[in-house]
Amino acid sequence: MFMAVEALRRVLVKVPDYTLAWVAYDGAEAVSKCAADTPDLILMDVLMPSMDGVEATRRIMSQSPCAIVMVTASVNRYAAKVFEAMGYGALDAVNTPAFGDDGLLKKIAMIAQLIGKSSHRRSLSIHHSKSLPPLIVLGASTGGPQALTTILSQFPQNFPAAIIIVQHLDAQFIPGFAAWLNEQIPLAVQLAIAGASPQPGKVLLAGTNLHLVMRPDLTLGYNKEPLNFSYRPSVDVFFKSVAKNWTGKGIGVLLTGMGQDGAQGLKRLREAGWHTIAQDRKTCVVYGMPKVAVELKAAVEVLPIEAIASTCIKYTSKHLTL
């Protein structure tokens, strides 16, 4: 299940008049981003581990003031902090459960009228202490099924990361591949269907001869374009869409395969702040895709296949879980 920040996003994308300016995951980041790009409205969580919403509100209203709505699981429970934030300039507060209905949109519309932004496009930012689930994306071609099994079999059943795979394989063989993987590893493997969302502890597998993509609303979809790619689905197309749209951080892994698909996408992920891994020459069946990634300096680490899972587990535990 997505956390509150994703519930917010799902509400906002329904209304074309709202433009999402940015997303921040701690108070200091929110203050910094607001100074660089001040939105019309900030949806600000009350509780944060490093800088709570009260202090972030105080600093924003002091340095780059804008409308702020406090967000919390219980306005009543955290009333003291909510009122303190309002003392620094926050306009209102909303309970997290309101994300699933029209209550949030009505409150935003009311504030838009209040601040005189109801007649044109409005920019908003989301700030919440709970980020998206950790995400691991993997691309593979020749030799990929065994490499993927080696990695995925080492993840525990309660692994907190969501996992998405693009394997070069004709669509007619993908259901059988998913069934085979399910027998080899402790995690549940499913075909990625249009509209699906990454979920912790589940593996989603590109399942058609179209390109798997991450949409702006953080659901998965399939595109015919670009038509001139040799591989369908393309690892590059998927990785680049993730780098563009996934607002959390994660781990990108490029495994054994012929050609260069995925190398540019892995580089894009690294540039977006992801931890990127390429399989090493010795353990690749075909050292093509990872080789190009290494040449492009797209990989933070180059690892033998046996070491990739433990690195993902360690990195996920240290950097991506709350």
Q: Which residues are catalytic?
A: 141, 168, 261
233, two tokens: 């689905």
Q: What is the DSSP string of 88-122?
A: TT--EEEEGGGGGSTHHHHHHHHHHHHTT-TTS-E
Q: Which residue do the tokens 């008049």 mark?
A: 17
User: Residue 181: CB partners within 8 Å, gap ≥ 6?
Assistant: 145, 148, 149, 152, 189, 203, 205
Chain Cα centroid distance, residue 291: 26
Backbone phi, then psi, for 86, in 5-degree steps? -65, -30
Residue 217 phi/psi, 5° resolution?
-85, 10
Report the distance separating Cα 239 and Cα 269, nearest Å. Answer: 7
Nearest to 195 by CA among 220, 177, 217: 220
Length of the chain: 322
284: tokens are 């690749």
